[in-house]
Amino acid sequence: MTHLDPVQFNTGLIDFVDGSPSPWHAVEQMRERLQAAGFDECDGPAAPGSRVYCIRGGSIVAAVVPKRAESGWRIVGAHTDSPNLRIKPNGLYLAEGQLMASIEPYGGVLMSPWFDRDLGLAGRVVVRDAEGQRVTRLVDSGSAVGWVPSLAIHLDREANTARAINAEKHLNIVLGQASEVPSWDEIMLNWGLQLGDEVLAMDLCAYPMQPSDFVGLQQEWLVAPRLDNLLSCYAGLAALLEADPEQAGALLVCNDHEEVGSTSSVGADGPLLERTLARWCPDPQALDQSLMFSADNAHGVHPNYADMHAASQRPLLNSGPVLKINANQRYASEPEMIALAMDLADMESIPVQQFANRADLGCGSTIGPITASRLGIPTLDLGAPTWGMHSCRETAGTKDGAWLARLLLAFMQH
C-alpha cells in the first residue's frame, strides 16, 4: 500500500496540491497518475473488471468496473474546485500608473488572507491557434506576477476593528507598472500559449505562490492551499489506485463547481456521473446495490475559537477522519452508512470522529446530498478535519489524510 503510507501519502499530496493551481490542472494531474497505473480513457461501454476514466472540463470519473453488476458500485465523491479570485473578462485596466486585473470572487472566499500574498495566475484558455483551430490550453504563470497590497493602517485607523472588504474595490490584483494595457496573448505567451495563439476565452484563477509545507514543533500539520478539497481528491485517488475489488466496483468522481452550488454540466447536480455509470455498466442492478462516501473536509475545532463548536462536537486534527451529520440533510449521512464506516474503521484500526454543527449556526453542504438525491443511493459524508477552510492557505493534520485514504480503500473493497 505505497500510496497509503503516511509519509508517502503526504509527500504525494504536497506534489499534487502544488501542481494543481486550478481545477483543470488537478484533473490533468489525476489523469497522468491514472494512466501510469494502467487506466484507459473510455467514453463507451466498459468491460467488467476494466480500469477506466473519463474527463469533462474540471471533473473526472475513474473506476474499476464491477465484475458482476449485482455487486454494485462503491462510489467515492470529492470536488476539484476551491474558493479563489477569478479574473474577469476584459479585466485588464490602468490605475495610478499600475496595470490591474479586475477580479470576481469564486465561491465563499475568506477574503482577508489574500492580501499581501505573492500571487500566480493559472487556468484554462481557449485560443484560436496559428492554423485557425479552436484549442483549449492549460496555462500557469509559474511565478508570482501579482499582489493585492493592504491599505496602510495610518490611512485606516479602524483597520483592526472595523475594516470592511469590498471585493469589487479592494481585491483587484496589481500586476505591475504600465503605461498601456497589453493583450493576454502577450502576457500568457510563456505560460503555456504558443506563437500565433489568439485568446478567445479563459478561466483564470489567482493562487498563492507559497508552497505547501509541514508546520509545528513535531511537523504535525500540513499547511497548503486548496486542501478543500484537493486533499479528498488525492485520498480518493490513492485509494482507487490500490483497489482491486473482487466483488463491487470502485469508482472515484471528482466534480467541479461544488463551491458555487454544483449546478452545471460537470457539477454534482449535472448529468455527468449518471451518464457515465449508464455507459460503463448499464445493468440497473449495479445502481441498486451501490453505496457512496462523499469526502469533503470537516471543521476541526480551532483552539482560539473553540466556542464555535458545541462542547460535544469538537473534532481534533490528527485524531482521525470525521463522519459529518446534519439533521436537515446538509450532509447526507444515514445511520446505516455511519455504522458501516465505523465497522470498517474498527477492522482497519483507524480512529474516526463524529461531528454535527452548533444548532445556532448555519451548516455548509457537500456533493453528498446532491448525488444521493440524483442517484438514490445510501450515502455518508466524511472528511479530514482542517482549520481555516476557504482561506487561501488551510491546515490539516499529517495523520488524517492517510487514515482517510485507508478508510476509503476499505469502503471500495467492501
Which H or E run includes 354?
Answer: strand 353-355
Q: To which residue does cell 478508510 refer?
A: 407
Cα–Cα dist 226/113, whole Å: 13
Q: Per CATH, which fold does 2-82+225-412 belong to? A: Aminopeptidase (3.40.630)
The upper half-sphere exposure of residue 86, i.e. CA atoms within 13 Å in the direction of its Cβ, equals 19
CB-based burial, 235-273: b 16+ in 10 Å, e otherwise: bbbbbbbbbebeebbbbbbbbbbbbeebebebbbbbebb
In the chain, CATH 2.30.250.10 covers: 84-208
Of the chain, the percentage scoring pLDDT greater than 70 comes to 99
Q: Give the SS3 label for residue 214.
A: strand
Burial class (CB in 10 A: 0-12, 13-18, 19+), 327: exposed
Cα–Cα dist 371/332, whole Å: 9
pLDDT attached to residue 36: 97
The upper half-sphere exposure of residue 11, i.e. CA atoms within 13 Å in the direction of its Cβ, equals 7
Pick the CATH number of 84-208 from 2.40.50.110, 2.60.120.560, 2.30.250.10, 2.40.50.100: 2.30.250.10
Cα–Cα dist 222/214, whole Å: 5
The pLDDT tens digits of the residues spanning 266-318 come to: 999 999 999 999 999 999 999 999 999 999 999 999 999 999 999 999 999 99
Cell output for 186: 502577450
Strand pairing report for 73-79 and 249-255: parallel
The pLDDT tens digits of the residues spanning 106-115 come to: 999 999 999 9
Helical spans, DSSP H, in 109-251: 159-162, 167-170, 184-187, 227-242
The pLDDT tens digits of the residues spanning 128-185 come to: 999 999 999 999 999 999 999 999 999 999 989 988 999 999 999 999 999 999 999 9
In the chain, CATH 3.40.630.10 covers: 2-82+225-412
Cα–Cα dist 101/181, whole Å: 10
Is the pLDDT at 121 greater than 70? The verdict is yes
Strand pairing report for 73-79 and 291-295: parallel
Helical spans, DSSP H, in 199-260: 227-242
The pTM assigned to this predicted structure is 0.96
Cis peptide bond upstream of 90, omega within 30: no
The upper half-sphere exposure of residue 111, i.e. CA atoms within 13 Å in the direction of its Cβ, equals 19
